[in-house]
């Protein structure tokens, strides 16, 4: 899930009709028919709209050193720097889904979801990160999970990289080393070869903004804390790697695999005031936070957003650097990356306010100084159990419309949306969150004609929330981490989501529960 902004041949969707888009993508997901049900509510999604839930390998699997798995950067980080984890815990066991995945699938079956989004651990499949050594036990584990999902009619949507980089590759510089793009292509080929017959829909990366900005530019693993330098290098190589994997898929696996995309996170960035300065600052911030990754892939021109290139180049010169801190793509790389996604996976959780920073440009390089806006939130916005996550449903609709206008209305798949709360089974505030955000989503689809084809809640169950440890609970199912078997128990929101997934209509609900 998103940590939020804590430091706060080409196929274009816009060239096709909605009917063609839907038939193509839903064929990819394996859903061609409709489900019979009584529509007792007025607020309903299309018959072919799909609902599911998400998890990620490091956050739920545990078994961190079991059966040949290699060490990840999050293994190393949580072991060596427990002081940087809120509750000093780690993901060594987590929800123990490595051993309990069949129980997880029973939970999915109970919810009646059409898809399950999960990630494959790179170091569990390739312990050193390199394809010369394949861990057969890791292949076995994911093969059994996929077979279990398919036997229950639940379509897998698989993320190749959800932040758990093999430590052996980090020792070579990780995502700041250009060679890692080649290693990622090798990894993707292993996944396509072993699982391509069982997985129709793949996502290359989850939220590169988060793991580049907060990891290489901040204090998440690997904790580089090199904003304005390593975060830009990370992003540059991630975009190269994504484009290379997409071209691999198109050249060699198109007959086997139906679609490949990427997941980007986009919190809405609203001007703090109606002034021209804040309006401009907010649009600049959107280009930095979201356009940084979306513009090279989904725009007609490709490459980084012009305002980002202009600002980083100019500020780098003022800081007396001989070259821009923002790397440059070759013309061949621009064309390789442009259009390299069959759909946009979108994670959305919350909204921020942006005001123009009227101070002098700092001589100390940083992403925030390059972006030039001051990030805040309104105190009166309803809170979650995450300091960064406020409940602002209208921001969801605005985000979807910005994407529609900026990138010629691409096909969007909501790959994460959700809310953290404290422990407890009666989670009416989560149900209220879902109700508000689902209504905003449906309005964006029906009133604004945004092309959204599916929704994924984060998360199926409580999980290890990175530097927040187990202190933030996003799950439809509560996990008792103190119990030997990591007991999962359905919350009230699980019953709400079950109605939603099975009827495709937003349920009416007694919000006093």
Are 88 and 144 within 8 A, CB to CB? no
CA distance between the termini of the chain: 26
β-bridge pairing 115-119 and 201-206: unpaired
**Which conformational region is residue 424 in: left (phi greater than 0), alpha (psi within -120 to 50 degrees), or beta?**
left
Nearest-angstrom CA–CA distance, 236 and 232: 6
Strand partners, 72: 166
* 495 CB-near residues (< 8 Å, 6+ apart): none
Q: Is 230 a catalytic residue?
A: no
CB atoms within 10 A of CB 176: 21
* 31 CB-near residues (< 8 Å, 6+ apart): 48, 50, 114, 155
- H/E run at residue 369: helix 367-371
DSSP string covering 32-47, please?
Answer: -S-------SS-B--T
- H/E run at residue 249: none
Q: Going along 74-154, which residue ranges are E strands? A: 115-119
| Marked catalytic residue, from 71, 333, 368, 416 | 416
* 208 CB-near residues (< 8 Å, 6+ apart): 234, 235, 238, 239, 262, 264, 293
Question: Which residue from 441, 430, 442, 439 is spatially nearest to 382, judged by alpha carbons?
Answer: 430
Spell out a b/e string for 479-506, using b for 16 or more CB atoms within 10 Å of the CB, else e. Answer: bebeeeebebebbbbbbbbbbbbbbbbb
| Marked catalytic residue, from 61, 71, 148, 207 | 207
Q: Is 416 a catalytic residue?
A: yes
Which residues are identified as catalytic?
Answer: 207, 416
């Amino acid at each position: 899930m998103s940590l939020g902004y804590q430091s706060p041949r080409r196929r274009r969707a816009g060239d096709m009709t909605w009917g063609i888009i839907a038939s193509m993508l839903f064929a990819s997901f394996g859903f061609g028919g409709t489900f019979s049900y009584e529509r007792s509510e007025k607020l309903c999604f299309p018959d072919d709209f799909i609902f599911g839930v998400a998890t990620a390998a490091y956050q739920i699997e545990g078994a961190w050193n079991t059966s040949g798995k290699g060490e990840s950067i999050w293994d190393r980080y949580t072991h060596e720097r427990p002081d940087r984890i809120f509750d000093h815990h780690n993901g060594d066991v987590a929800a123990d889904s490595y051993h309990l995945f069949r129980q997880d699938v029973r939970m999915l079956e109970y919810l009646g979801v059409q898809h399950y989004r999960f990630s494959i651990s790179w170091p569990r499949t390739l312990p050193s990160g390199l394809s010369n050594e394949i861990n057969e036990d890791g292949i076995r584990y994911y093969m059994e999970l996929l077979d279990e999902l398919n036997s229950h009619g639940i379509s897998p949507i698989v993320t190749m990289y959800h932040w758990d980089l093999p430590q052996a590759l980090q020792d070579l510089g990780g995502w700041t080393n250009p060679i890692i793009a080649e290693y990622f292509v090798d990894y993707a080929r292993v996944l396509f070869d072993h699982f391509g017959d069982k997985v129709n829909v793949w996502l290359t990366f989850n939220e590169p903004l988060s793991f580049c900005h907060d990891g290489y530019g901040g204090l998440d693993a690997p904790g580089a804390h090199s904003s304005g330098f390593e975060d830009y290098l990370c992003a540059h190589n991630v975009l190269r790697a994504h484009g290379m994997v997409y071209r691999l898929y198109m050249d060699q696996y198109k007959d086997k695999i139906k679609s490949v995309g990427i997941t980007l996170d986009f919190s809405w960035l609203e001007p703090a005031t109606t002034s021209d300065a804040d309006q401009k600052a907010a649009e600049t911030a959107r280009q930095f936070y979201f356009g940084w990754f979306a513009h090279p892939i989904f725009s007609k021109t490709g490459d980084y957003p012009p305002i980002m290139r202009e600002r980083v180049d100019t500020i780098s010169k003022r800081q007396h650097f001989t070259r821009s801190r923002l790397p440059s793509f070759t013309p061949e790389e621009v064309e390789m990356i442009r259009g390299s996604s069959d759909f946009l996976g979108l994670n959305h959780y919350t909204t921020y306010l942006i005001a123009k920073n009227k101070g002098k440009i700092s001589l100390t390089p940083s992403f925030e100084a390059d972006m030039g806006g001051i990030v805040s939130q309104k105190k009166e916005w309803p809170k979650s159990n995450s300091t960064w996550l406020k409940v602002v449903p209208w921001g969801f609709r605005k985000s979807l419309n910005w994407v529609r206008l900026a990138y010629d209305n691409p096909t969007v798949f909501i790959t994460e949306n959700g809310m953290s709360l404290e422990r407890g089974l009666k989670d009416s505030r989560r149900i209220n969150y879902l109700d508000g955000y689902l209504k905003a989503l449906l309005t964006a689809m029906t009133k604004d004609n945004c092309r959204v084809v599916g929704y994924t809640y984060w998360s199926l169950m409580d999980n290890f929330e990175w530097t927040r440890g187990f202190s933030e609970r996003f799950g439809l199912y509560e996990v008792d981490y103190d119990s030997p078997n990591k007991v999962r128990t359905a919350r009230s929101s699980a019953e709400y989501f079950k109605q939603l997934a099975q009827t495709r209509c937003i349920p009416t609900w007694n919000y006093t529960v």
